[in-house]
C-alpha cells in the first residue's frame, strides 16, 4: 500500500482570506486522519501566508499518525522545527512571490549546508526529507546529506498535456524513484497530483508515499473533507490492484 499524507495548508488559506478563525486546519487534520490518511503535512512559510505558528504547535500535539513540516532552510524556521519536533521536516525551496512551490530544491548546489542541516535535525530526533526534481544527480546529493527520505517533484508531470511528454516525464520519475529506493531512501511523490493523474504515479512500484493537498481540499469544498480523503484512498488502492 502507498501511504497518503494530506497537506492542510489550503484550509488555512481559506481562513487567512478573511483573517478569522475558520476553517481550522487543526480540525481538518483530525478529519483527514479519521478518514484514513497516513500523515498530515503543513508548510510554515516565512511570510506566514497560510499556516501559522499556532497551527504547527497544536498539530504537533494532536496528530496521531505522522506530522511532516515543510520548510525552507532558514534559521527562524529551523529553530521552530527543533522546538516543536515534527516527525519529519521536508526541506523545500521558497520564494516570497510564488503562488506555490515552483520546483525542486537544488541540494547538489550546496551540499555542505544541507548536510549540516540534516545533522542538526537528526540531533533533535527529527527525520529529514528533501523535495527535489526527479534527477539522479539530486538524489545522489540527498544520499550524501544523510537524509532518510526524498520527495520527488511531480509538478512538471501534472502540468503536461501532451501524451508523449507525459510518458517521458513518467519514465523520468520512475527512473528516479527506482534509483532512490534501491539506494535505501523512502520515496515520496508530490505536487500537482489529483484524482486522475495520481493513477499512473501509483503504478510506479518504488514510490512509498504520496503528499497531496490542493486537489483534496478543492474536492472537499464540494463533497466534504472526509469523503474527499476516502475517495483519494480508494483511487490509490484501485491503482495498485491494476498496475
The string of pLDDT tens digits covering residues 58-72 is 999 999 999 999 999
What residue segments make up the domains of the chain, in order of their start?
3-242
State the pLDDT confidence band at 243, using cuts at 50, 70 and 90. confident
Q: Residue 101: its pLDDT value, please?
A: 59
Backbone torsions φ then ψ of 195, nearest 5 degrees: -70, -10
Strand 209-212 with 3-7, pairing: parallel
Q: How many percent of the chain have pLDDT more than 70? A: 97
Separate counts of helices (H) and strands (E) for the chain: 11, 8
Cα 178 to Cα 210: distance, rounded to the nearest angstrom:
15
State the pLDDT confidence band at 111, using cuts at 50, 70 and 90. very high
Q: What is the DSSP string of 159-177?
A: H---HHHHHHHHHHHHHHH
CA 186 to chain centre: 13
Cα 35 to Cα 2: distance, rounded to the nearest angstrom:
15
Mean confidence (pLDDT) of the chain? 96
Cell numbers 546529493: residue: 141
For the stretch 206-218, pLDDT in tens is 999 999 999 999 9
Annotated catalytic residue within 10, 50, 153, 191: 191
Record the pTM: 0.95
Annotated catalytic residue within 43, 50, 135, 151: 43
Q: Residue 102: its pLDDT value, please?
A: 65
Query: Has 191 been annotated as catalytic?
Result: yes
> Does 100 score more than 60 pLDDT?
no
Q: Residue 96: its pLDDT value, please?
A: 60
For the stretch 49-98, pLDDT in tens is 999 999 999 999 999 999 999 999 999 999 999 999 999 999 999 766 55
Q: Residue 95: its pLDDT value, please?
A: 65
Annotated catalytic residue within 33, 70, 135, 169: 70
CB 65 within 8 A of CB 40: yes
Q: Residue 9: its pLDDT value, please?
A: 97
Give 113-117 contacts, CB < 8 A, sequence gap 24+: 113/73, 114/73, 114/141, 114/145, 115/144, 115/145, 115/146, 117/73, 117/78, 117/91, 117/145
| Grid coordinates of 170 | 513518467
Q: What is the CA radius of gyration of the chain?
A: 17
Query: Has 214 been annotated as catalytic?
Result: no
Q: Residue 1: its pLDDT value, please?
A: 86
Contacts of 130 (CB under 8 A, 6+ apart): 90, 91, 105, 107, 114, 138, 142, 145, 147, 149, 150, 151
Q: Residue 94: its pLDDT value, please?
A: 76
> Does 99 score more than 70 pLDDT?
no
Query: Has 43 been annotated as catalytic?
Result: yes
Class of domain 3-242: alpha beta
For the stretch 177-202, pLDDT in tens is 999 999 999 999 999 999 999 999 99
Amino acid at each position: 500500500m502507498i501511504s497518503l499524507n494530506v497537506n492542510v495548508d489550503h484550509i488555512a488559506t481559506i481562513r487567512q482570506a478573511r483573517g478569522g478563525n475558520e476553517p481550522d486546519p487543526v480540525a481538518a487534520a483530525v478529519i483527514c486522519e479519521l478518514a484514513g490518511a497516513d500523515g498530515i503535512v503543513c508548510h510554515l512559510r516565512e511570510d506566514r501566508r497560510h499556516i501559522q505558528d499556532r497551527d504547527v504547535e497544536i498539530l504537533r500535539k494532536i496528530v496521531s499518525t505522522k506530522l511532516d513540516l515543510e520548510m525552507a532552510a532558514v534559521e527562524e524556521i529551523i529553530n521552530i522545527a527543533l522546538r516543536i519536533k515534527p516527525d519529519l521536516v521536508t526541506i523545500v525551496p521558497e520564494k516570497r512571490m510564488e503562488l506555490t512551490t515552483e520546483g525542486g530544491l537544488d541540494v547538489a548546489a550546496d551540499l555542505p549546508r544541507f548536510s549540516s542541516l540534516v545533522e542538526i535535525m537528526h540531533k533533535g530526533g527529527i527525520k529529514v526529507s528533501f523535495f527535489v526534481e526527479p534527477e539522479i544527480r539530486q538524489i545522489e546529493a540527498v544520499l550524501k546529506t544523510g537524509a532518510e527520505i526524498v520527495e520527488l517533484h511531480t509538478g512538471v508531470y501534472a502540468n503536461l498535456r501532451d501524451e508523449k511528454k507525459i510518458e517521458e516525464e513518467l519514465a523520468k520519475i520512475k527512473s528516479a524513484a527506482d534509483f532512490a529506493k534501491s539506494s535505501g531512501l523512502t520515496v515520496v511523490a508530490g505536487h500537482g497530483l489529483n484524482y486522475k493523474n495520481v493513477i499512473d504515479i501509483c503504478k510506479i512500484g518504488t514510490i512509498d508515499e504520496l503528499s497531496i493537498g490542493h486537489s483534496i481540499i478543492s474536492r472537499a469544498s464540494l463533497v466534504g473533507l472526509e469523503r474527499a480523503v476516502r475517495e483519494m484512498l480508494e483511487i490509490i488502492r484501485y491503482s495498485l490492484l491494476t498496475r
